[in-house]
Amino acid sequence: MTAATDGHAIPPIRDLPAGRLADRARHLQAELRPRPGNRLVLPALLRPRLRTAALAMAGVCAAVAATLAFTLGGGSGGSHPAYVLETAHGDGWVGVAFTALTRLPAQHTPASSPTTTVIRGGTDGQRQLLHSIVRATRPNTITTIAVISAGTRVTLRMKAADNSLQTQWQEWLVAGAFRDRATAAGKHWTVALDNGDQLGTIARGTTPAVPPARPGDVRAARQRFERAAAKAGLRLHRLDLSRPDGVAVAATFETSHPALVLRHQMRTFLAAIGYGWHGYDGVYVDLIDRSGATVWQTATALRTTTGSVGSREDLAGCSPVASVGGYPGPPPCPVN
């Protein structure tokens, strides 16, 4: 039988296949439950550090939450499990809106050509501020920002040229810088980011300890990243520095031996730049193979406390950054 609506034939309404509604209902209930005790399945290398890290994390969480207690994820807060990105050196990154990736998305490479961002809505001042932020954010693949103001709530609805993690990271940077630069100018807006799948408020009054960039900060960051890459023996394919407010760094490395690089050199590099990435608006790092395909990537944005890590599935066990919480056991790293 065919249903015809508005003169156009479409298939009829169907139930889920036998048993699947119950399966999905059980799955949903399982996902809704906070799972504080079900957090830690990490690459083998990280496990020995985990006991101490977990203990430390309990203490650290409270302190970090006090300074970074803003969320991008709906603001309903309380019962959301905190996701933790745990590094090989035991440093952690706490937030409630991490995209926990174990597989790279189908489209993970951002559009190559810089985009001119169209900014609509809002006041002249809001548009000017956003223009100055997106001009200072490179690369930039955000195509449109619609500013929707309702009282003191300002929603930034962003559309982008692609769905890559780097583009999401740019959106976090712009939203965070907008909130903090507005606050610094005396505009105490509640800023929300709506980028299609993330819709949430960056809570007000929790300005993180990231100062606006001063003259020389960009150059210093460039030197720091280049030195760290040299120390780790990594081949820097591309390095973009920008100043949405503080300094943001996007680094791409190229290798013919991704497993080895992830297992050893990337750890050295991340340690050299400081695993927590504090002091930067955000850091994006990815590793591409000789064909130009991304095999690993991570991104953090301090002002929105958002972050993500993703890896080609067979290399997940080599990743120097792991997502704690809902992370199924990755396959073992193919190299020692």
The verdict on 107 binding another protein (CB under 8 A) reads yes
For residues 285 and 297, the answer to whether their CB atoms sit within 8 Å is yes
- Residue 139 or 310: the one with the smaller Cβ distance to another protein is 310
Contact pick of 125, 196, 211, 334 for another protein (by CB under 8 A): 196
The verdict on 5 binding another protein (CB under 8 A) reads yes
Nearest partner of 174 among 193, 160, 188, 190, judged by Cα: 193
The verdict on 150 binding another protein (CB under 8 A) reads no
Nearest partner of 250 among 308, 297, 195, 291, judged by Cα: 297
The values of phi and psi at residue 20, to 5°, are: -75, -30
The verdict on 37 binding another protein (CB under 8 A) reads no
- Residue 9 or 215: the one with the smaller Cβ distance to another protein is 9
CB atoms within 10 A of CB 45: 18
- Residue 30 or 184: the one with the smaller Cβ distance to another protein is 30
- Residue 36 or 186: the one with the smaller Cβ distance to another protein is 36
Contact pick of 53, 80, 245, 251 for another protein (by CB under 8 A): 80
* Pairing label, strands 282-288, 248-254: parallel
Task: Please work out the total of residues on this chain that contact another protein, with binding judged by CB under 8 A.
Answer: 57
Q: What are the DSSP calls for 39-97, one per residue? A: -----GGGHHHHHHHHHHHHHHHHHHHHHH---SS-S--TTSPPEEEEETTS-EEEES-
The verdict on 36 binding another protein (CB under 8 A) reads no
| Rounded distance between C-alpha atoms, residue 96 and residue 83, angstroms | 6
Applying the rule CB under 8 A, the residues between 15 and 34 that interact with another protein are: 15-21, 23-33
Question: Tokens representing 14?
Answer: 């169907």
* 262 secondary structure, DSSP code: I
Sheet arrangement for strand 306-311: 99-100, 306-311, 294-301, 282-288, 248-254, 235-242
Contact pick of 65, 111, 146, 199 for another protein (by CB under 8 A): 199
Contact pick of 58, 197, 205, 216 for another protein (by CB under 8 A): 197
Contact pick of 58, 66, 106, 150 for another protein (by CB under 8 A): 106
| Rounded distance between C-alpha atoms, residue 274 and residue 69, angstroms | 21
The verdict on 41 binding another protein (CB under 8 A) reads no
The verdict on 291 binding another protein (CB under 8 A) reads no
Applying the rule CB under 8 A, the residues between 227 and 266 that interact with another protein are: none
Q: Which residues bind another protein (CB under 8 A)?
A: 2, 4-11, 13-21, 23-33, 73-76, 78-80, 99-103, 105-107, 163, 165, 168, 195-199, 310, 323, 326-328
